[in-house]
A and B are shown apart, each in its own frame.
Chain A
Amino acid sequence: MDEIQKRLLLEIADLHEIPEGAYNIRSNGEKAGRRTTENIDIVTKTDKPGIDIIIKPGTKHESVHIPVVLTKTGFEDTVYNDFYIGDDADVLIVAGCGIHNCGNQKSEHDGIHTFYVGKNARVRYVEKHYGEGEGTGERILNPTTIVHVDEGGYLEMETVQIKGVSSTDRRTEGDVAKGGSIVVKEKIMTHGDQYAKTYFNVDLNGEGASASVVSRSVARDRSVQEFVSVVNGNSACTGHTECDAIIMDEARVTAKPELTANHVDAALIHEAAIGKIAGEQLVKLMTLGLTEEEAEAQIVNGFLK
């Protein structure tokens, strides 16, 4: 792996070295490294590009890293990764995609990830997106995540896209069985002429199922963001979605909630707040000795932290 690829890995997966535990590194559409463990198997799909990650029931405190890096301009990559998380397992999965595009053609990575979270299993899934490169070619990432949470299962998904991605269309779909939970925390910052759309759709099917989706975003320059959250409460369940956006310059942000209660005991809440940085916040930090620009940077960084 060259220096650019190593740096991308650092940005998206905080990886300085080969990670501990199981991993699969994909570089420009090819397998660049893989390790399996006694409890975590990784198998290349034979019918389409992608891998199956199979985690044995009861696996505790293990992690899987599956970063993807793209450094060839004009490279378009679609990959299907399926995660089978056994009952009672408790694991960390780190994915992410870094694009370095120094050419003038678009580079695109579309990852379709499907999770089968077993009974009473717990998964923390972290996904980081990052783009760079001095070329004029677009850097496009369109991730799709499909989550099936079995009884008592729990999936927490953290997604971060802070820099350099020209366009992203993120879809997350899920269904949650009795007593299961899905928690999504999304952080996005767009600038320039970037576009980011988040579409979230979850069916809360079992009694006591819950979903929480919290999006915090900053839109600067002329960038455009759209946040759509659809929650269907089909049982005695709780759903909460929240979109909190700071808008700057000439940016635009749209938040569209769609909550449907199909059961009398479904409790669904949506909160959305979009606005510029409050003047009093800037003034307060300036009375502590920060310049207006420094104050703005602190507020934005804190908001996305």
Chain B
Amino acid sequence: MLRLEHIGYAVPDEKGEVKTILKDITMTLDERFIVITGPNGSGKSTLAKIIAGIVKPTSGKIYLDDTDITDYSITDRAKAGISFAFQQPVRFKGLTVMDLMSLAAGKKLSTGKVCDYLSEVGLCARDYVNRELNGSLSGGELKRIEIAMTLARGTKFSIMDEPEAGIDLWSFQSLIRVFENLYRSTSGSILIISHQERILDIADRVIVLESGSVTADGSKDKVLPAFLSGTCPKIG
């Protein structure tokens, strides 16, 4: 369970004026699939980075299972059980898929085990195990390896930032199956940032973020019809 209390984030813009990215976000995330959606620039990715420790909030507290992790580093949060699949996967010259998957798992994985994870994300495993994570892989391939790393980590709280981007050759049904398998193995929460209707459709809870504030929050049946028709009701 992850709890955010009064999280705010503001940065000075180029004119030196303070620009608010996130305003007073308070929520408890405990469901199986939670999807955060909203327009571009609404602060979704920033919120994900704040949870992973990459961005430090300017105000507020974060708790993981009642432990205050606000001052935890990225490393400490990862060790405490938070995984983060980046929207834009990082390339590494020299490090192979096998290396990264082993680092994700925290132990040396067998080729068979790496193949299992890669097969889950629809990659023909044997072709990839010893490939470097460099420019020779397509964006879609890197994205799927990024998701496979989250599977290998298997932590109690996983964040996926736009997992559907660049996976057009693969099916949504397969991606959703990956989320289900991840939940089955971790019994934790999976926080997905997405615009995709088909991903919104599997959510146990949908949170709409607009201009740094939560404008709707609840079951998909409650939130989606209004959100998709563009008449999102204000909450609170």
Q: Report which A residues bind B (CB closer than 8 A).
A: 216, 244, 278, 280-281, 283-292, 298-299, 301-305
B129 vs chain A, min Cβ distance (A): 15
Is A292's CB under 8 angstroms from B90's CB?
A: no
CB-CB contacts of B66-79 with A at 8 A, as 1s and 0s? Answer: 00000001110011
A283 to B93, CA, bound (A): 16
Grouping DSSP codes into helix (H, G, I), strand (E, B) and loop, the A interface class, with mixed when no group exceeds half, is helix
Would you list which residues of chain B between 204 and 220 have a CB under 8 Å from chain A? none
Stretch at the interface among B2-10, B98-106, B190-198: B98-106
Would you list which residues of chain B between 83 and 101 have a CB under 8 Å from chain A? 83-84, 86, 90, 92-96, 99-100
B149 proximal to A (CB < 8 A):
yes
A136 to B89, CA, bound (A): 45
In the bound complex, residues from chain B placing their C-beta under 8 Å from that of A288 are 78, 100, 103-104, 106, 149, 153
22 contacting pairs across A/B (C-beta < 8 A): A216-B93, A283-B74, A284-B86, A285-B103, A286-B74, A286-B75, A287-B52, A287-B74, A287-B78, A287-B83, A288-B100, A288-B149, A289-B75, A289-B153, A290-B75, A290-B103, A298-B95, A299-B92, A299-B95, A302-B93, A302-B95, A303-B93
B54 proximal to A (CB < 8 A):
yes
Is A244's CB under 8 angstroms from B93's CB?
A: yes
Is A298's CB under 8 angstroms from B75's CB?
A: no
In the bound complex, residues from chain A placing their C-beta under 8 Å from that of B54 are 283, 287
Q: Which residue of B lies closest to A281 (CB)?
A: B90
A305 to B93, CA, bound (A): 10
B69 vs chain A, min Cβ distance (A): 14
Q: Which residue of B lies closest to A286 (CB)?
A: B74
Is B84's CB under 8 angstroms from A287's CB?
A: yes
In the bound complex, residues from chain A placing their C-beta under 8 Å from that of B106 are 288-289
List 10 tightest A-B contacts by C-beta distance, closest first. A302-B94, A302-B95, A289-B78, A286-B74, A303-B94, A284-B90, A287-B84, A286-B75, A280-B90, A288-B104
In the bound complex, residues from chain A placing their C-beta under 8 Å from that of B104 are 288
